[in-house]
Each structure stands twice: as structure tokens, then as C-alpha cells.
Amino acid sequence: MGILNITPDSFSGDGLVVGGDATRRALEKALQFIEDGADILDIGGESTRPGSQVVSAQEEIERVVPVIHAIRQQTDITISVDTYKADVAAAALGAGADWINDVWALRADPQMAPLAARTGAPLVLMHNRSKPGEVILQQRLGGMYQGAEYHDLMGEVCEELLDSVCIAENAGVARHSIIMDPGIGFGKTVTQNLELIARLNEVKGLGFPVLLGPSRKSFIGYTLDLPPEERLEGTLAALAVGITRGANIVRVHDVRQTFRLTKMVDAILGSV
């Protein structure tokens, strides 16, 4: 899953500045991702980095819909919309998107679950305990959660994901349409993020496909003391471990390098 941020404030520095020729540049990047091996494109119009500005649904629609429409005219690749707002998701699906990627796992907008049920769109549910007051921001390394408290990290992450599954199923979402994301970086400390990847098999054990998204995130920066643009090797290491623990989909900024990594890891795992 290749990341297309149609935002001016992406934490990773890869955001496509809104306005002007943003749609053309997003399309060029999308086509390059496809050439590099992407199976899915994840398109978002609001940054979810700590300290980012909230964007209205209308502005988010104006950012993502033209890009989705342009990509859909050129290719039949699977397109996911990265939003927690039902109005944005509805507009994106109408423009040609296929999936909904909800970083609040149906807890931010009560209309999201009924929308997913009506449309039958595959739905990514991401675990999230983000609280702005718990974040320490460093300009070079980004946001780090200090006060994220879990008495049982994996037990609580799994339980809260299953709570969101109940919300989805009660609204009529088919179980086979649900994908789980453990929410790397969202309300977890550096150590908790590392443990979450090491124990990802416990999320996999819940019986749903698993999406893993550690790409360029600050837990890598704080571990290696590196800014976002120098986190490729750390990202690839996290992904390699995550795949061995059961990740089915990896959400990344660096598609070409990740495609090679996943092909190699799959070859190794498939040899025994």
C-alpha cells in the first residue's frame, strides 16, 4: 500500500502541497508507485501526525476527490481513502475509491459504520489512543508519546480492535470486509511500538487480515536518532519482522524498496 498524502503538513515530508498542480503531481506519483510494485494506493487529505491541524470535511473532499478521480481514469488499482469522516469516505467512494481506512476505527464518526455496510467497501480498523497532551514534539525527530499507559499492551489493543469489530458488525458490515491495523505510533510509546511489532502475531490471531504501517514513524527516529527522510532502513527492518509475524498488507512511503523486501521475505518464508 503506497501512501499519497494530499496535505501540506505530512510528518514524513512527502505531502503534496494542496492547490496548483497537486492533482497532476499526485497522479504522477501514483503511477510511479504502481510501476514500483504497489497493489493499493492510500490517499489522505488530512495529516494525522501529532500536532497537525484538523481539516474540515469539505476541504478534505476537495483535496482527495480530484486525485482519486484522476487515478481511477488511468488505472484499476485498488484505492483506499484514509479518513475518519463518513462524508469524505462517501465522496471518495463515489469518485472511484474502493476501501475505507479509518484511523479511529469507527469511533470518530457514527455514520462511518453504516456507510461501510451500505457500500460493502473493505474497512481498515486502526487502533488509536492518541491524545495531544501526551505528546512531546521534537523538530528533528517528531512526536513521541510519553504517557501512554497500558496494563496489558497486547490484550488491550486486541480488545479495543474487537470492540470496533462489534460496532462494524452491528451496523451490518460483513466480517470478511474487515482489516485490522494495530496503530503503530498512535498513542504508544517508542517501546510499546517496538513490542507491538514483535508481538503482531497476537493481533493476527484474532482472525482478520492485518495491515502494518510503521513507515518513517517517530519510534524509528527515536530508536536510531534519525529524521524522517533517513528512516528507510529502520522501516524495512520493522516491516520484515512484521511480515514474519503475520502482516498481510504493509503501508509505506518507499514502495520500490519495500516491494523488493516483501518479495524476498515471502521467498524465505515460502521455502519451508
Residue from 29, 49, 231, 251 carrying the catalytic annotation:
251
Residue 188 catalytic? no
Q: What is the Cα–Cα distance from 88 to 97, expressed in whole angstroms?
A: 11
Q: Is-contact 57 16, C-beta < 8 A?
A: no
Residue from 29, 49, 85, 217 carrying the catalytic annotation:
217
Per-residue burial over 181-210, b if 16 or more Cβ lie within 10 Å, else e, is bbbbbbbbbbebbbebbeebebbbeeebbb
User: What are the strands, taking DSSP E only, across the chain?
Assistant: 2-5, 40-44, 78-82, 99-102, 123-126, 135-138, 142-145, 178-181, 211-212, 249-250
Q: What is the Cα–Cα distance from 39 to 156, expressed in whole angstroms?
A: 31
Residue 204 catalytic? no
Q: Is-contact 79 66, C-beta < 8 A?
A: no
How far from 66 is each of 22, 84, 87, CA to CA, in Å?
Answer: 9, 19, 15
Catalytic positions, written as ranges: 217, 251
